[in-house]
Chain A
Amino acid sequence: MNSHNLENLLADWGRSKEQLPTNNTILKNSILNRLPTDLRAESRKTNFKMPWLPLTLGSLAVLILVVQLSKTNNPNPTQVSQTTSSFSQPLASALQSGKKASGLQSDNMAKGIPQNSAESQATAPSMGAAANALPSYHSADNYVQMPPTPQEVPITDNRQFLKTDYSAAIQSHHVQELTNRVQTTIRGFDGRIDANNTSEESSYLSFVLPADKLDAFRQELKSLAGGRFITEQVQTENMLPQKRDIESQQQSAKDQLAQLNTQKTQLIQTHTQTVASLQSQINTASRQLANLQNQPDTLEVETQKQELANRIKTLRARLADENANYKQQKGFLDSQIQGAQTNLDNANTQNSDLLDNVATVRGAMSISYVSLWDILNLYLGVGGWLAIFLGLAAVISYFATRRNKLILP
């Protein structure tokens, strides 16, 4: 007997089992009589069951999403720090070494403003060395440690010579394209590119910008790369100690120059007077000797002539010594004056350089490759994924509660 036949037999058997109870009519009527007439009202009362699990999961997902969104409203932390120059280190060199640090810490970038420079390092590893180079009192949202006061700058001197260093770490899926566009932008803002090192997965730019164009440049950069993918660091540095040092050098050089000039003038005057005196004495002795030449030669005359000749000789020797001394001293003073003038020129050059330096922004930028998955992570973060997971769990549990499950009375 095959399977089909057996199934037919079973079907026949099943049909043969169908039967009504012997008191079918009575049973049927008793059941029908128990049927209430206002079932709809009861239906409204009993039908609705609150799906608590999906609701709870959904609420949690929404809550986490809201928290996540509020946290990531400012996803690109901009570190702004201000220091005096005596505490700063060259940022560009630090970034140069920092760019070697590769890898992606995109989750951290979306977490918000880092608390201090150490956290900044964790946030953007490509700027790690730069962050290390910065003092620990860099600004943060809540935690502000007072910077130490420079000792050599008196509080009464409130001048500001702010030198700005700008650094940015950008993550992009198209590194080379973005690098080219950033270079064009820098040049468009009258900037200059000092170094460029580009590979397929990362690039590094060192550049200089006019200080007054930094804000516009930053805006342009954000529009190019997307604010979420940039971590910026702006360090302003008051160059007042250097300025004061240069001014001190200038003043010192001026004072020294003036003093040397005075000494030189005095030397010339003294020398002139001495030479005039000696020359006068020589002239007087010469005239006396000439008068004696006209007198008859006597022993007394001869003795006087001999004395006058010796005197003239002595005076001439003194004059020669005076001239030699004068020449030597004047040469020494001239040399010192030249040195002081050089110092003054150097100080003036330093002053000019400092003022030029203040008017420019040193910039360093690293652009690193970010995969699409990491971009997604940047947008979502841990909270986002958790919210998605909870949302899915809410949907699944909702459909699980709604699935065609027989609910028995």
Chain B
Amino acid sequence: MDLKQELALIKKAQTGDRQALGELWDTITPKLFGYLINTLQDKVLAEDLLQTTWLKAINALPGFKAQGVSISAWLFAIARNECKQHWRKGGHEVPLDENLHDAAAANANQTEQNLLIEQLLAQLSQEDRELIRLRYISGLPINEIAKILNINFVAARVRLHRAIAKARGAMNS
């Protein structure tokens, strides 16, 4: 879905069009849910936060202005914020276990390559993993990642580049 289509759907959703909102759900939720599971390593919690994220988004939908930012980025930012709040309340990010990573993934048809990636990511810092999640699970462009992380574009690009370089280094070693 390109930005124009997304904007059109947002406008419709802002008028109370549930079908438009449903289309946005269908487009964004797979990535958003995947991001949450990968972040939280807890499918139930991920579903809770997915619901919370969408509810907050709907409540704030009247005030949402695209201004060059997709609603996906906005939703991912909300989701990331919800994760932070969850960890602040007492939860904590579960470190990736090289062998026992998320339950959802374990049930999926995991390929060998994916396992390799998971092992590589486990060796990266939380910030680097977050960058890679946002880039490759969420599929967001770097400028939107920069806005979600509240850093400038260049910093986001450099950090992502370094994270990939670290992953490559880990792979080679």
Contacts and interface: CB of A to CB of B under 8 A. Distances in A.
Contacts of B30: 18-20
Given A11-B136, A32-B25, A409-B57, A1 B33 contact: no
Interface in B117-173: 117-118, 132-133, 135-139, 147-148, 150, 164-165, 167-168, 171-172
A28 B50 contact: no
A30 B55 CA distance: 9
Interface residues of A, number: 45
Nearest to B60: A409
Contacts of B135: 10, 14
Interface stretch (A33-41, A192-200, A269-277): A33-41
Interface string B44-60: 00110011001111111
B38 interface: yes
A174 to B, nearest CB: 48
B147 A1 contact: no
Chain A interface mostly: helix
Contacts of B62: 39-40, 42-47
B74 to A, nearest CB: 6
Contacts of A42: 62
A296 interface: no
B16 interface: yes
A40 B55 CA distance: 17
Contacts of B99: none
Given A404-B147, A408-B81, A27 B18 contact: no
A35 B132 contact: no
Contact of B37 (A17, A23, A33, A409): A17
Nearest to B148: A406
B55 A34 contact: yes
A31 to B, nearest CB: 5
Contacts of A407: 60, 63
A154 interface: no
A39 to B, nearest CB: 5
A408 B108 CA distance: 32
B5 interface: no
Given A32-B21, A406-B77, A409-B57, A21 B136 contact: no
A406 B116 CA distance: 34
A152 interface: no
B132 A10 contact: yes
Interface band, chain B: 35 or more
A36 B62 CA distance: 10
A10 B15 contact: no
Nearest to A38: B16
B14 A31 contact: no
Contact of B77 (A12, A24, A408): A408
A210 to B, nearest CB: 71
B96 interface: no
A50 interface: no
A17 B63 contact: no
Given A27-B47, A31-B54, A6 B137 contact: no
A3 interface: yes
Given A40-B15, A406-B69, A46 B63 contact: yes
A47 to B, nearest CB: 5
Contacts of A38: 16
A16 interface: yes
Contacts of A408: 60, 74, 77-78, 81
Interface in A276-335: none
Given A6-B167, A36-B16, A408-B78, 11 more contacts: A11-B136, A14-B133, A14-B136, A32-B22, A34-B55, A35-B21, A35-B61, A39-B62, A43-B14, A45-B62, A406-B69
29 contacts: A9-B117, A10-B132, A10-B136, A10-B167, A13-B117, A13-B118, A17-B105, A17-B137, A18-B30, A18-B33, A19-B30, A19-B108, A20-B33, A28-B22, A28-B26, A31-B51, A32-B18, A36-B16, A39-B62, A40-B14, A40-B15, A42-B62, A404-B67, A406-B69, A406-B73, A406-B150, A408-B81, A409-B57, A409-B59
Interface of A: 1, 3, 6-7, 9-14, 16-24, 27-28, 30-40, 42-47, 402, 404-409
Interface of B: 13-16, 18, 21-22, 25-26, 29-31, 33-35, 37-38, 43, 46-47, 50-51, 54-63, 65, 67-69, 73-74, 77-78, 81, 104-105, 108, 110-111, 113-114, 116-118, 132-133, 135-139, 147-148, 150, 164-165, 167-168, 171-172
